[in-house]
Amino acid sequence: MNVYIIGIGLIGGSMSLDIQVTYPEAIIHGIDVSDAHLEEALQRQLIHQKATLQNVENADIVIVTIPVHASIKIIDEVLHTVKDDALVIDAGSTKEQICKSIAAHPKRRNFLAAHPIAGTEFSGPSAAIQRLFEGKTNIICEVEKTAFSLQEKALELFKNLGMRIRYMDPKSHDKHIAYVSHLSHISSFMLGKTVIEKEKNERDIFDLAGSGFASTVRLAKSSPAMWTPIFEQNKTNVIETLDEYISNLQEFKNLMLQDNFEGIYKEMENTNYIKKILKGLE
């Protein structure tokens, strides 16, 4: 089985590691704009050999794990190149624009839009880890537009990687993910920005930062090259979430100005319900 992974970073590299265990006969081909990434991927045995986009004509499976603004052009080119029974999977964090861009493609049936809800704040080949997807949710969009035989192939792959499957339309996906993923990244980046601007002494930040700060600001270490296109593609939904978030922050500030600490207590007590919602993720 010839597997071509476009973008050898956290997601693509981690998928490669698990595919090699589950499908020992698979030959993993790596495609990346960075030759340094490809060399590192070879050294780390994330891939067996380098490849180019033209080589995907030999692919049984193509997995696209690059920034979402680049995916639109690449997926179109890949679909034009692959053979009729090849499966092309996109693993990006936004789905609506990508699905619209290939809606009328003559090989739309070869494409499966997916979003594995897995990852860390790290990027590049060195970030790849085994079993990253174990127990994680994988959202699949417009599954009915993918050829049934290729759906089966994809579901078998996802099952072997340990994923749970959730089906959703692209528009709903982008709206929901803006709240539970994109907003948290923005919050983390802006918290980091606030602290950097106000705490000029880096040693003070290091010495005084507790686990709460570290966990809250962890996502600020994520790649701007990956996240800027995500915010651009999901701009409308992200702005909506920011409006609501800013409104809640302003309300909290007003309670502080009013010395209404009973109100603050109630706000936090009501929000503690999130523990029950997230219990299944622990």
Q: What is the pTM of this model?
A: 0.87
Bridge partners of 113, per DSSP, are 90, 141
Bridge partners of 138, per DSSP, are 116, 165
Distances (CA, A) of 211 to 133, 192, 280: 25, 14, 22
172-281 matches 2-168 in CATH topology: no
Supply the pLDDT for residue 153.
97
| 160 C-beta neighbours (distance < 10 Å), count | 14
Supply the pLDDT for residue 244.
96
Region 172-281: CATH code: 1.10.3660.10
Supply the pLDDT for residue 213.
73
Supply the pLDDT for residue 198.
73
Supply the pLDDT for residue 251.
96
Sign of torsion, CA 148 150 153 158? negative
Supply the pLDDT for residue 208.
58
- Distance in angstroms between the alpha carbons of the first and the last residue of the chain: 35
CA dihedral 26, 143, 95, 180 (to 10 degrees): -100
**Which of the residues in the chain have pLDDT under 70?**
199-211, 277, 280-282
Bridge partners of 140, per DSSP, are 114, 167
Region 2-168: CATH code: 3.40.50.720
Supply the pLDDT for residue 209.
60
pLDDT single digits (tens) 5-50: 999 999 999 999 999 999 999 999 999 999 999 999 999 999 999 9
110 contacts 87 by C-beta, under 8 angstroms: yes
- Helices assigned H by DSSP within the chain: 10-22, 35-43, 68-81, 96-101, 148-160, 170-177, 183-198, 202-208, 211-217, 224-233, 235-257, 261-271, 274-278
Question: d(Cα 185, Cα 278) in Å, to the nearest integer?
Answer: 18
Distances (CA, A) of 136 to 119, 164, 198: 10, 6, 37
Distances (CA, A) of 176 to 157, 164, 182: 25, 17, 9
Radius of gyration of the chain from its Cα atoms, rounded to whole angstroms: 21
Label residue 115 exposed, middle or buried (CB < 10 Å: 0-12, 13-18, 19+): buried
- Domain positions in the chain: 2-168, 172-281
